[in-house]
Chains A and B, each alone.
Chain A
Amino acid sequence: MGDLVTMDDLSNDEITQILDEAERLIPVAEGRVTLPLLQGKVLANMFFENSTRTRMSFETAMKRLGGEVLNFSSIGTSVSKGETLYDTMQMIDGYADIAVIRHPRQGAAQYSADSVNIPILNAGDGSGNHPTQTMLDLFTIRQSQNKIENLRVVLVGDLRYGRTVHSLSHALTRFGASLILVSPPSLRMPSEIVSDLRNSGCEILETENFKDQLDSADVIYMTRIQKERFPDDDEYSKVAGIFKLSSNDLTDVKENLIVMHPLPRVDEIDSSVDKTRHSKYFQQAFNGVPTRMALLCRSLGIDVPKKVK
């Protein structure tokens, strides 16, 4: 109850409701309005793998709502002494009211959710899922396009190991998107996911041809080729820097096109794109705060007021 491990844990109505709540919470996220909805609550940020935006935006979200945060890192703690994830989570079950977990192993969030009583929010499990990122991605899309239904979305880069695109493609499919999956053959979307999306009625094109897909797109979602997921440097260097977007590529695109990226970027989006009206990736990073506020409230069973003043 209250867990968010994959996007299957949220119905379409719940997704819409959370996005509405996140929108109402923007003044709180910006620090303009004080709203201590989570006063007295403690969040455990359980990061067994590095993070910048996710960890900090959860921390900001919790603190802006009056809550407290315990930050855990696996370095220099009982984990480096060989403690199991199960045992670590038992401890957190007694210290916090809710936990956010990021872990290098796939399935770690579900495993944690099954191990404890407090709600678990999955902030990335290996190459598995990253549903809170998907919620802020949907929020950003709706903010720019005024809808999340029936969009043409191009997902680019590391679709094999990229957990953000795994969760996002599931969610977009449920809202009638058609998806263009652009990746080198070695980094294609896992077959289980493609099969699930097709069975759900999603129209999918898998291609290596990036530039041909730009003009018809409503959303271009770039991802980094993640060096840390490759078994060796040779395999990485074969595909590093393969897809690059610059402002010159955006001359004939649709008026409403937005360019997104979960960040950090390396060289897949040239800085010349930053100044165009299409770039939304920094806005996307901020949107993590109101979206995660709404998700924390949902998991803790706290209602967001209809009017935030």
Chain B
Amino acid sequence: MSEMRRVTAIRNGTVIDHIPAGYALQVIRMLRMDMNISTPVSLVMNVPSDKIGRKDVLKIEDRELNQEELDRLAIIAPAASIAIIRNHVVSGKLKVELSGELINIASCSFSNCITKADREPLPQRMKVVNQEPLEIRCYYCGKGQSLEELIENII
């Protein structure tokens, strides 16, 4: 059985493949879909993958994610491949891109960072210092942020 067929093929929407196993729920959170979900979302977890060993897959119906939304996933699913589906046919393929800076994706984990002060209006900014291994620091205070902390502090 094709791994993609563990759940029904979707007619229109977005398929996110090659999410590292166990991270699909975090991906949903990072796409801000857990709060106001209005379309069906199917989730396949921990299936074998030639590319990354084990993987999760998400199928989001009736919603086409744009590049900006997908780039939010870069810190947890840099190898994800995305297909935009229209009328059961793949109409476009996208890749996640990790840029040098993450703006308003996660807040700083350091309690004494200036961004932790009440009502300060400037955006949360993270610098990608190194891609492999992934090293991310707060642009303002310089503190390193672990993947767990970034996920915990998603905005």
State whether A106 and B139 are in contact (beta carbons under 8 Å apart), knowing that A84-B120, A86-B121, A86-B122 are contacts in the complex. Answer: no
| Inter-subunit contact A106/B114 (CB<8 Å) | yes
Q: How large is the interface on B (under 10, 10 to 19, 20 to 34, 35 or more residues)?
A: 20 to 34
Question: Using Cβ atoms and an 8 Å threshold, which residues of chain A touch B121?
Answer: 84, 86
Could you tell me the distance between the alpha carbons of A128 and B119 in the complex, rounded to whole angstroms?
22
Q: What is the predominant secondary structure among interface residues of chain B facing chain A? A: loop
Out of A82, A111, A191, A192, name the residue touching B114 (CB < 8 Å). Answer: A111
| Inter-subunit contact A105/B122 (CB<8 Å) | no
Could you tell me the distance between the alpha carbons of A191 and B129 in the complex, rounded to whole angstroms?
14
Taking CB atoms and an 8 Å cut-off, the chain A residues in 82-119 that contact chain B are 82, 84-86, 103-108, 110-111, 114-115
Stretch of B15-23, B37-45, B75-83, B140-148 on the interface side: B140-148
User: Given contacts A104-B112, A106-B141, A111-B114, could you give 7 more A-B pairs where the C-beta distance is less than 8 Å?
Assistant: A84-B121, A85-B117, A110-B114, A111-B120, A115-B122, A125-B141, A192-B143
Q: How large is the interface on A (under 10, 10 to 19, 20 to 34, 35 or more residues)?
A: 20 to 34
| Inter-subunit contact A85/B144 (CB<8 Å) | no
Q: Is residue A127 contacting chain B, with contact meaning CB distance below 8 A?
A: yes
Q: Is residue A288 contacting chain B, with contact meaning CB distance below 8 A?
A: no
| Inter-subunit contact B120/A106 (CB<8 Å) | no
Out of B108, B115, B137, B141, name the residue touching A126 (CB < 8 Å). Answer: B141
| Inter-subunit contact B112/A114 (CB<8 Å) | no
Could you tell me the distance between the alpha carbons of A106 and B140 in the complex, rounded to whole angstroms?
7
5 nearest A-B residue pairs (beta carbon): A107-B140, A107-B141, A106-B141, A107-B114, A105-B114
Question: Using Cβ atoms and an 8 Å threshold, which residues of chain B touch A127?
Answer: 112
Out of A82, A110, A126, name the residue touching B139 (CB < 8 Å). Answer: A110
| Inter-subunit contact A107/B122 (CB<8 Å) | no
Out of A86, A106, A111, A125, name the residue touching B143 (CB < 8 Å). Answer: A106
Q: Which residues of B contact A (CB under 8 A)?
A: 108, 110, 112-122, 137-144
| Inter-subunit contact A105/B116 (CB<8 Å) | yes
Out of A107, A115, A125, A191, name the residue touching B115 (CB < 8 Å). Answer: A107
Could you tell me the distance between the alpha carbons of A85 and B121 in the complex, rounded to whole angstroms?
9
Could you tell me the distance between the alpha carbons of A114 and B140 in the complex, rounded to whole angstroms?
10
State whether A108 and B114 are in contact (beta carbons under 8 Å apart), knowing that A191-B144, A192-B142, A192-B144 are contacts in the complex. Answer: yes
CB-based nearest A residue for B110: A106
Question: Using Cβ atoms and an 8 Å threshold, which residues of chain A touch B120?
Answer: 84-86, 111
Chain A nearest CB from B39 CB (Å) reads 38
Could you tell me the distance between the alpha carbons of A128 and B143 in the complex, rounded to whole angstroms?
9
State whether A106 and B113 are in contact (beta carbons under 8 Å apart), knowing that A84-B119, A111-B120, A115-B122 are contacts in the complex. Answer: yes
Could you tell me the distance between the alpha carbons of A82 and B140 in the complex, rounded to whole angstroms?
21
Could you tell me the distance between the alpha carbons of A86 and B108 in the complex, rounded to whole angstroms?
18
Question: Using Cβ atoms and an 8 Å threshold, which residues of chain B touch A84?
Answer: 117-121
| Inter-subunit contact A103/B122 (CB<8 Å) | no
Can you list 25 residue pairs at the A/B interface with Cβ under 8 Å?
A82-B118, A84-B118, A84-B121, A85-B114, A85-B117, A85-B120, A86-B120, A86-B122, A103-B114, A105-B114, A105-B141, A106-B110, A106-B114, A107-B108, A107-B139, A107-B140, A111-B114, A111-B120, A111-B122, A111-B140, A115-B122, A125-B141, A126-B141, A191-B144, A192-B143
State whether A111 and B115 are in contact (beta carbons under 8 Å apart), knowing that A86-B120, A86-B121, A106-B110 are contacts in the complex. Answer: yes
Out of B116, B117, B118, B137, name the residue touching A192 (CB < 8 Å). Answer: B137
Chain B nearest CB from A84 CB (Å) reads 5
| Inter-subunit contact A126/B144 (CB<8 Å) | no
Chain A nearest CB from B128 CB (Å) reads 14
Most buried by A among B108, B110, B116, B122: B122
| Inter-subunit contact B137/A105 (CB<8 Å) | no
Most buried by A among B114, B138, B140: B114
Question: Using Cβ atoms and an 8 Å threshold, which residues of chain B touch A111?
Answer: 114-115, 120, 122, 140
| Inter-subunit contact A114/B141 (CB<8 Å) | no
State whether A107 and B113 are in contact (beta carbons under 8 Å apart), knowing that A86-B122, A192-B137 are contacts in the complex. Answer: yes
